[in-house]
Amino acid sequence: MVIPAMDYINEIFMTTMLDDTHLDPSIRATVGPVKRTLNKYYSLTDMSDLYHIAMVLHPHHKLEYFRQAKWEADWIKMAGELVCRNYDSSYVSCDIHEDVGSPSSDGEEHKDHPNNIFDRLPSLSKINSSRTLDKLDAYLATGVEDIDVGDAIQWWDDHRSTYPHLSCMALDYLSIPATSIDIKHLFSKGRVFLPYL
């Protein structure tokens, strides 16, 4: 998770190192520019809803992470509203199929899937959106789960029947890579950014 990692780096390494008088002055002098660079990139997370939505949909964090990190109440409310708006607009009326990817046993079209594509328009859907939105409220109302950070996708897969639409959204968001470039590749090109190394 990007936001907790950046918070951790900022708090432990940067703030602590700035205050540590036992460190060599040259190391402390480099901490300032590093902290400014970190804050520059941290502020870029506000340009995408992805980071906040992924945090709320992570069962170990939900909105509780923002509260513990002492985010302003308006920011916490905004993060919850982002999830609700996105869920309501893109996931409440989506078709949920338990057997996605598996062919039918007799090779025939399922009877509950009409051949007319217009019968499945979201505006004509018979899904009770208030009942589905209650699933989001129920998820947010439960406490955070005691799982490892990397187990969120498995948690959502295990809870598909409890939160069918919300699990689709969570799996979509939580499976997005944090970076589009291989980290090993990025670090092997480090001298391009810092030629004096």
State pLDDT tens for residues 153-176.
999 999 999 999 999 999 999 988
Q: Is residue 15 part of a domain?
A: yes
- Any idea which of 105-109, 146-150, 183-187 has the lowest mean pLDDT? 105-109
Give the mean model confidence (pLDDT) for residues 107-126. 51
Chain Cα centroid distance, residue 7? 15
60 contacts 144 by C-beta, under 8 angstroms: yes
Residue showing tokens 């609700």: 84
pLDDT score recorded for residue 158: 93
Give the total number of structural domains in the chain: 2
What's the burial of 12, exposed, middle or buried (CB within 10 Å: 0-12/13-18/19+)? exposed
**Residue carrying structure tokens 């993060």:** 79
Domain assignment present for residue 42? The answer is yes
Asked if 4 and 62 sit in the same domain, the reply is no
- Residue 131 forms part of a structural domain: yes
**152 and 58 within one domain:** yes
Same domain (yes/no): 79, 139? yes
Q: Which domain holds residue 172?
A: 48-92+115-184
Q: Residue 150 domain-assigned?
A: yes
Shared domain check, 177 and 123: yes
**Is residue 23 located within the same domain as residue 77?**
no
The verdict on residue 65 lying in a domain is yes
CA–CA distance, 1 with 117 (Å, rounded to integer): 38
pTM of the predicted protein model = 0.65
